[in-house]
Structure 1
């Protein structure tokens, strides 16, 4: 149904043409009133331009930098045990050629329990944390993120003591606790951006913060390997634990829940943030209102889940076992392999940035549909990764194996399914299962074909994932995701209303993407065809639907007391 948008106040209309579109500009019947209103419009335009000039003046805020470092620390923590276990349960030579006896006699089953126990806790808190950061429960979301990083770091300090207890149960308890608090990190950071990230800056701020997860693996593998080799197997646990606790002190001291609570933020930046974001709606979905049955029976949803599981399998496989593989199969010492092991993850980070620009270009220029772009990038990236994993499985050459690993992990950066809530939780199942499988196949290096089977299995999982994704994935908005037909109140800022005119062709802007990243979608405002700024400051919009044939709401936009925010009252016409 066509949308009807009603104006506040009466006016006459004149028609102008801009490009291929037609706009009706409604003016007052009085010439003087029209001139006065023109001046007001110019003033609004000047104010919006001033706001735009300030977009990049103070956007490198301390919270964004600290968030990046926080993710770097917790993903580095995940590399600690993968490096330490090689000196804990096996005899080894230090960099000076001296042989050392191992300290623990773990079975493959015990190792599997200790490595996977983290993911039991991590899986549990994914979805509940998403609800905790939604209004009206989100008053302490910044503190929640600090607790996630600081708590996981403090527990990391306890791991060496739990290892010395020679109880895999004690180790599992500490690891599960780490997973529980780390599971809060991603949802909490999304909640932080709800109040701190202006729409036009959200992509950049989120990308800056979440790239810490890539950097965590890039730095965590070599640092953990170096500390284990040149000091003691417990060193990475203490170093990362202390770093995270110190980080939390800075986070709690320097960050605040809302701009209004910040004592030192400049008035200009505070005004810009609050004006551009507007009022955050308190109406949020609940467990009873979410269409669970439709979601769980949606094939596009399962396509994302299966692809995410496949990618997560390889990610956790390498994060936990890459150093062990390089020792057992390639004959490299842990002290020499740390920096080499980081190369695939560094390449993936670069490919994610390149692939993101390519995907955005193809979509924004309408070269390919959203569905086509996602299938090509996801299936292409995962397919190439699966092929290179086959090379790793069967080659006996050190150079060939490392080159194939670099290309395999690098190609995964083209995948565009992000880690999000429910899908991320399912992907965590790979972290639960993978350690048991790897340890059983490669128990103490006794099976020479074990690593061949490990990478062959990883390749087959990837091929299965891309086949399922290629058949069932969709980039279109599903019917169950459409909002219900009910009246709702939304507050737009003047800047957001202005931004609507720049999105006349509709669509979405993708802030970041990647197999380990997080997707940030900025929805365009309705396409504006006819609008006017009357004496009351009202905007009339008479538009065609940029989102689909079911669009059928009437919208009234008005400014209260000449303020900067445009209020929208939406009434269903269906």
Structure 2
């Protein structure tokens, strides 16, 4: 279910990349910014009207949907307001495993999203329309793969073929390991079709992350999953700022294929870091501070 939900963001990338290239080609770059910004306005209005923090309070939910979510998420009858254990969070080795992994993957993802079009223009000599199509293909692959892989992972878990921990680790290693391999090959080939194929493969397999890294938050601390994702995603987003700065710094010194090799190999290193850290240290054991501390019974206090 989460793989299907997360896949919506990937579909958005596909649509925006294709639409931006088309709009810029037919009109100008300014129009693409205005149109994309305008598309967000309906979402901004609908989000607070349609979203609730608990399925029980949603006005449009069907009873069968509610029953399914209660069973799947093990929702309590009455939601307790829990105090966020900030100290325990930042002293947890498991949380730092998630931070390092998420940030390393964030570097690779933002590189493909923001710098791959530049590489295709500068090195592969793609025109605007070709660039839009070529850069959207990896995210089409990731969108489709995330949905099908998520269903397959759920099936394996339900049949207890592999342990939950092994499923999480395998999913992450598949995603980041293959992405690292592809990124290490790209700068050493000049065939534009081979480059596109490698980038499609590298990004497609990242869809397995939605059955790996992105599920670890629920495994470790279901009650604070939103807070944990906010923390790790904030740090990972910093990679989105660092990637263009790093690439610009490298290319300003020497805008050659050799400089692009450095960029791709650094990205490979980050993917390998995510592979190693998550593969060695992640578990699926619930963290002790996730469980709410119940107040002692008054009768028991008097004993």
Do both share a fold (TM > 0.5)? yes
Q: Which residue of 1 aligns with 2:15?
A: 219
Q: Aligned partners of 2:254 and 2:201: how far apart in 1?
A: 26
Of 172, 197, 200, which aligns to 1:403?
Answer: 197
| 1:333 correspondence with 2:127 | yes
1:31-61 superposed Cα distances (whole Å, 9 cap, x missing partner): xxxxxxxxxxxxxxxxxxxxxxxxxxxxxxx
Q: Which has the higher contact order (CA 8 A, sep 6+)?
A: 2
Q: Which residue of 2 aligns with 1:447?
A: 256
Q: How does 1:553-568 map to 2 (within 5 A)?
A: none
Q: Which residue of 2 aligns with 1:235?
A: 31
Q: Is the CA contact 2:3–2:146 (under 8 Å) kept in the aligned structure 1?
A: no
Of 468, 471, 474, which aligns to 2:280?
Answer: 471
Q: Aligned partners of 1:425 and 1:237: how far apart in 2?
A: 24
1:437-468 superposed Cα distances (whole Å, 9 cap, x missing partner): 01111239733322111111000111122111
Per the alignment, in what secondary structure is the counterpart of residue 449 of structure 1?
helix
Distance 1:406 1:445, change over 3 A: farther
Query: What TM-score results when the alignment is normalised by the length of structure 1?
Result: 0.44
RMSD: 3.1
Q: Aligned partners of 1:378 and 1:208: how far apart in 2?
A: 17
Q: Aligned partners of 1:298 and 1:449: how far apart in 2?
A: 40
Tell me by how many angstroms 1:359 deviates.
Answer: 1.9
Distance 1:212 1:271, change over 3 A: closer
Q: Is the CA contact 2:107–2:243 (under 8 Å) kept in the aligned structure 1?
A: yes
Tell me by how many angstroms 1:366 deviates.
Answer: 1.8
Distance 1:423 1:447, change over 3 A: same
Q: Which residue of 1 aligns with 2:82?
A: 285
Q: Is the CA contact 2:98–2:278 (under 8 Å) kept in the aligned structure 1?
A: yes
1:491-527 superposed Cα distances (whole Å, 9 cap, x missing partner): xxxxxxxxxxxxxxxxxxxxxxxxxxxxxxxxxxxxx
Q: Aligned partners of 1:260 and 1:369: how far apart in 2?
A: 34
Q: Aligned partners of 2:76 and 2:164: how far apart in 1?
A: 30
Q: Aligned partners of 1:208 and 1:359: how far apart in 2?
A: 13
Question: Unpaired segments of 5 or more residues in structure 2?
Answer: 218-228
Q: Which residue of 1 aligns with 2:268?
A: 459
Q: Is the CA contact 1:323–1:334 (under 8 Å) kept in the aligned structure 2?
A: no
Q: How does 1:307-326 map to 2 (within 5 A)?
A: 307-326=101-120
* Number of aligned positions between the proteins: 277
Per the alignment, in what secondary structure is the counterpart of residue 268 of structure 2?
helix
Q: Aligned partners of 1:279 and 1:295: how far apart in 2?
A: 23
Of 375, 390, 397, which aligns to 2:184?
Answer: 390
Distance 1:298 1:330, change over 3 A: same
1:181-211 superposed Cα distances (whole Å, 9 cap, x missing partner): xxxxxxxxxxxxxxxxxxxxxx4xx665543
Which of these two proteins has the greater Rg computed from alpha carbons?
1
Q: Is the CA contact 2:181–2:268 (under 8 Å) kept in the aligned structure 1?
A: yes
Query: What TM-score results when the alignment is normalised by the length of structure 2?
Result: 0.80
1:349-378 superposed Cα distances (whole Å, 9 cap, x missing partner): 111122212222222222211111111111
Q: Aligned partners of 2:66 and 2:36: how far apart in 1?
A: 36
Q: Which residue of 1 aligns with 2:153?
A: 359
| 1:421 correspondence with 2:217 | no
Distance 1:388 1:274, change over 3 A: closer
Q: Aligned partners of 2:291 and 2:15: how far apart in 1?
A: 42
Q: Aligned partners of 2:94 and 2:244: how far apart in 1?
A: 28
Tell me by how many angstroms 1:246 deviates.
Answer: 4.1
Question: Unpaired segments of 5 or more residues in structure 1?
Answer: 1-202, 489-570
Question: Is the strand fraction higher in 1 or 2?
Answer: 1
Q: Which residue of 2 aligns with 1:564?
A: none
1:202-221 superposed Cα distances (whole Å, 9 cap, x missing partner): x4xx6655432111111111
Per the alignment, in what secondary structure is the counterpart of residue 283 of structure 1?
coil
